[in-house]
Amino acid sequence: MIQSSQPSLMKLTKDNYYDHVTDWQYMSATIFKSFMQCEGATLAKIKSDKLVDETATPLLVGNYVHSYFESAKAHEAFRKAHAKEMLTQKGALRSEYKTADAMIGRLEADDFFNFVYQGEKESIVSGELFGVEWKGKIDCLNLEKGYFVDLKTAADLHKRVWSDRFGGYVSFILAYGYVLQMYVYKELLQQMYHKPFTPYIFAVSKQSPPDIAAVKIDDARYSLEAEYIKKHLPRIMDVMNGEIEPHYCGECDYCRHNKQLHGFIEVDRLLN
């Protein structure tokens, strides 16, 4: 990871945004959130270029929906590239993608969504936050009107999700760090275009029929996210730069897979 004062940053484009090498040059909301969950697993994954499991069905379904609203060309390319994962042995569309089609249809049938979802799709942003270079990819950027939109898919938009960070049940938008992500994008955009931007989220559920919501975020939430990043970023940078050993959460896929028992723990330790 390169601190912002260092030269030779790779210029980000739509084509190289997900390139492994850029993950060592730019922090992103995805990498930051992953480090907050498990430093050891995240470091191992970015070292081996496996930060995101691109074959995981929920991710593919999300990308399928995103590609549709990006452009007809992008959707067609996605369908071609992932035909194997999307189709059954008999060549029919798998149920997850039928659900995805219903989600697309639900959003597309909504006038308010169509009115707001106007602008440049998959817009790349970058800039400096707390002394580190960051990157981001925005689903829909309306430069002229000063807002941007991210599409989020979820099992159920109204489900209460437990959050250790917030110490209670919160909406999926807080639990999955989407406010943090919107804060980062908003700051990077402001640096790039020298004016403020308002983030919006359009959420669509995987239920049948799908639920939809247009979500705005109270400004007061952003100072909390700024403090959170400022507090934890230095340690993450030290871990990435190999200056301190990563902490292993002991519970994620990676930690469970690599677990070695060293003795007994008391009953209560199972609850951390």
Compute the least distance from the CB of residue 254 to Zn ion, in Å.
Answer: 5
Compute the least distance from the CB of residue 80 to Zn ion, in Å.
Answer: 35
The residue (of 41 and 204) whose beta carbon lies closer to Zn ion is: 41
Binding segment toward Zn ion, per CB under 5 A, in 6-14, 46-54, 84-92, 243-251: 243-251
Please give the residues from 253 up to 272 whose contact with Zn ion meets the rule CB under 5 A.
255
Q: Which of 9, 93, 192, 249 binds Zn ion (CB under 5 A)?
A: 249
Please give the residues from 24 up to 83 whose contact with Zn ion meets the rule CB under 5 A.
38, 41
Compute the least distance from the CB of residue 235 to Zn ion, in Å.
Answer: 16
Compute the least distance from the CB of residue 45 to Zn ion, in Å.
Answer: 10
* 3-state SS string for the chain: CCECCCCCCCCCCCCCCCCHHHHHHCECHHHHHHHHHCHHHHHHHHHCCCCCCCCCHHHHHHHHHHHHHHCHHHHHHHHHHCHHHHECCCCCECHHHHHHHHHHHHHHCCHHHHHHCCCEEEEEEEEEECCEEEEEEEEEEECCCCEEEEEEEECCCCCCEEECCCCEEECHHHHCCHHHHHHHHHHHHHHHHCCCCEEEEEEEECCCCCCEEEEECCCHHHHHHHHHHHHHHHHHHHHHCCCCCCCCCCCCHHHHHCCCCCCCCCHHHHHC
32, 132 contact by CB (below 8 A): no
- Report the sign of the C-alpha dihedral through residues 126, 127, 133, 136, in that order: negative
Q: Is residue 252 within the footprint of Zn ion (CB under 5 A)?
A: yes
Compute the least distance from the CB of residue 250 to Zn ion, in Å.
Answer: 6
The residue (of 40 and 136) whose beta carbon lies closer to Zn ion is: 40
Compute the least distance from the CB of residue 198 to Zn ion, in Å.
Answer: 35
The token pair that represents 83 in the structure block: 């035909």
Q: How many residues bind Zn ion (CB under 5 A)?
A: 5
Compute the least distance from the CB of residue 251 to Zn ion, in Å.
Answer: 6
The residue (of 160 and 259) whose beta carbon lies closer to Zn ion is: 259
The residue (of 161 and 252) whose beta carbon lies closer to Zn ion is: 252
The residue (of 41 and 184) whose beta carbon lies closer to Zn ion is: 41
The residue (of 197 and 254) whose beta carbon lies closer to Zn ion is: 254
The residue (of 44 and 224) whose beta carbon lies closer to Zn ion is: 44
- Site residues, Zn ion (CB under 5 A): 38, 41, 249, 252, 255
